[in-house]
Amino acid sequence: MLVYNRSDSFSPMSIKICLFLCLSFISANNLFSQLLEPKKPFTRADTLRGSLRPERTCYDVTFYELKVKVDTVTKSISGSSEIFFKALSNINVMQIDLMDSFVIDNISYKGTTLYYTREFGAVFIALMTPIPAGTEGSILVKYHGTPLKAKHAPWDGGFVWRHDKNGKMWVGVACEGLGASSWWPCKDHLGDEPDRGIRIIATVPKGLKCVANGQDMGQKDSGVWSTFTYLVTYPINTYDVSLNIGDYVHFEDVYVASDGEKLKLNYDVLSYNLDKAKEQFAQVKPMMKIYEKYLGKYPFWRDGYRLVETSYLGMEHQCAIAYGNHYRTGYDGMDYSRIGLDFDYIIIHESGHEWWGNSVSASDMADMWIHEGFCTYTESIYVEELFGRDTALLYTNAKKPTVGNRAPIQGQYLGVNAEGSSDMYSKGSLMLNTIRTVVNNDALWWQIIKGTCDTAFKYKTTNADEIITYFNKKSGKDLTPIFYQYLKYPAIPKLVYTLKKVKKKKYEFIYFWQTDVRNFNMPIMITTDKGKTEWLQANNSIQTKMITLSAEGDLKINDTLEYFKLEKR
């Protein structure tokens, strides 16, 4: 997701370090995208939205055709969503989703109007004649209404209705936390992406251009309206589907992959920002080269890569990445790295989501850390390739003050569409940096990272245990206790130690890991006399090591390669 973290430990608006520490602590908590607000007790509406009930599991979505007309005067929309599906079992009743503020004009199957009932955002469609398992067909839903207006996109969801500097309408949609059903009828669950993608046919006032996801299939004008068609040919998260309407101009570039294949780079920006965009977006090709090396080729090659200028900061809409960083470095001009790096954070982070989140997708909101933790770690990959390992470690560890450790970063599998703590960004990245250290073989580590998104889970929905099983198999190590400690519990591992002087320069170093998870085993690096470093195996049992120190203060325990707390007793 985007960028504006809401840590469980403090308010969602912050930026940089107590004059350095203070502001930096706050900043990262504001840099992570559209997480939902902290939940009150879960409701029936949450269950209907988040659970895989028989009315949902009876069918698999294969394709969508979304037709939508956007009236910028009344700020309303109307249109239809045709949901193509395959029946996985006999269908008597099927559930689709659409926010109950919208009017449903008609639902039909093979031209026959169907009866339906609504409960909150869930729409239950009754079939007069059951659809047999194995049948392929489509449901056509016609609807109209006024979509929710986003007050602070992208950190809340809805439509953004604004004017550009020339007074022309500038419209966008961001709905990751709120859900795609906040503006179009669909099966609004992460576990079912349309296998063959979506066709988006958007009609907007003449004189404006609509930019949506995927391939631009052309424009047709009729009276005071213009209709634009876009085609996505890969699976796509429903929350990634987006519309951008404004006074856009288009320019292109080409990225040449290591195998010589050419990728079309599409850029759509406000007319008066064309020159700035051409300069700023030059960062895309070197970034693409780095990501190809470590993550594999851009996953949505047929549909092309696209940045679209938006009035909100950013969002990872597949093949139409929302860009609102005002052509500044860092995070809207702020040194988000906190170590003096000046790349455009929105380009680097949101593009990383094409691999993590858009290609490799969580099947439940509880595992949104897969999107955010891996994508945030990808920023460190970018930094390491450009500036070296030491700088990448500085970059990764600069995120530590932003982690609240008040709640787990993995949500609960309750079928209520609930993600974990917004620590999932920084803590997820720090966890992966820690696991890289435990794997202790960089060549193997990069094989695992690339294999995760380029082979094992490409274009798939997955979950934490499948990811962990893959890491265990490929690394030859049981990493489960380490993953579980960082994912399932608020607290990070605590290394408890004591130094006991035995005789001159000789000390007993007594240590153990204090964790919520049993059988926790993670090595530690210590520095002793004259800068000597060594790795020690550590687990939940008390262990003792004789070490040489000129003075007790000479002992250093390295916490740059791993993320943990220290407690001296």
Strands 305-309 and 321-323: parallel
Strands 215-222 and 225-232: antiparallel
The predicted structure's pLDDT at residue 25: 32
Q: Using DSSP, how many helices (H) and how many strands (E) does the chain show?
A: 12, 31
Q: Please say if the pLDDT value at position 146 is more than 50.
A: yes
Instruction: Tell me the C-alpha distance between 156 and 325, whole Å.
Output: 18
Mean pLDDT (the chain, rounded) = 93
Give 207-240 pLDDT, tens digit per residue.
999 999 999 999 999 999 999 999 999 999 999 9
The DSSP call for residue 565 is E
Q: Indicate the pLDDT class of residue 39, thresholds 50, 70 and 90.
A: low
CB 207 within 8 A of CB 271: no
The predicted structure's pLDDT at residue 5: 36
Average pLDDT over residues 302-327: 98
Q: At what angle do helices 284-295 and 442-451 cross, to 10 degrees?
A: 100
Give 477-536 pLDDT, tens digit per residue.
999 999 999 999 999 999 999 999 999 999 999 999 999 999 999 999 999 988 899 999
Query: Tokens representing 33?
Result: 């995208």
Instruction: Tell me the C-alpha distance between 171 and 72, whole Å.
Output: 8
List domains and CATH numbers for the chain. Answer: 3-44+327-488 (1.10.390.10), 494-568 (2.60.40)
Burial of 523 (0-12, 13-18, 19+ CB in 10 A): middle
Give 390-419 pLDDT, tens digit per residue.
999 999 999 999 999 999 999 999 999 999
Q: Please say if the pLDDT value at position 35 is more than 70.
A: no
Q: Indicate the pLDDT class of residue 190, thresholds 50, 70 and 90.
A: very high
Q: Please say if the pLDDT value at position 85 is more than 70.
A: yes
Identify which of 448, 405, 454, 450 has the alpha carbon closest to the alpha carbon of residue 426: 405
Q: Please say if the pLDDT value at position 40 is more than 90.
A: no
Q: Please say if the pLDDT value at position 253 is more than 80.
A: yes
Side-chain half-sphere CA neighbours of 240 within 13 A = 29
Give 359-382 pLDDT, tens digit per residue.
999 999 999 999 999 999 999 999
Give 423-472 pLDDT, tens digit per residue.
999 999 999 999 999 999 999 999 999 999 999 999 999 999 999 999 99
Percent of the chain topping pLDDT 90: 91
pTM value surpassing 0.85 = yes
The predicted structure's pLDDT at residue 1: 52
CB 456 within 8 A of CB 470: yes
For residue 245, report the phi and psi dihedrals to the nearest 5 degrees: -125, 130
CB 26 within 8 A of CB 58: no
Q: Please say if the pLDDT value at position 37 is more than 90.
A: no
Percent of the chain topping pLDDT 70: 93
The predicted structure's pLDDT at residue 4: 36
Instruction: Tell me the C-alpha distance between 95 and 118, whole Å.
Output: 9
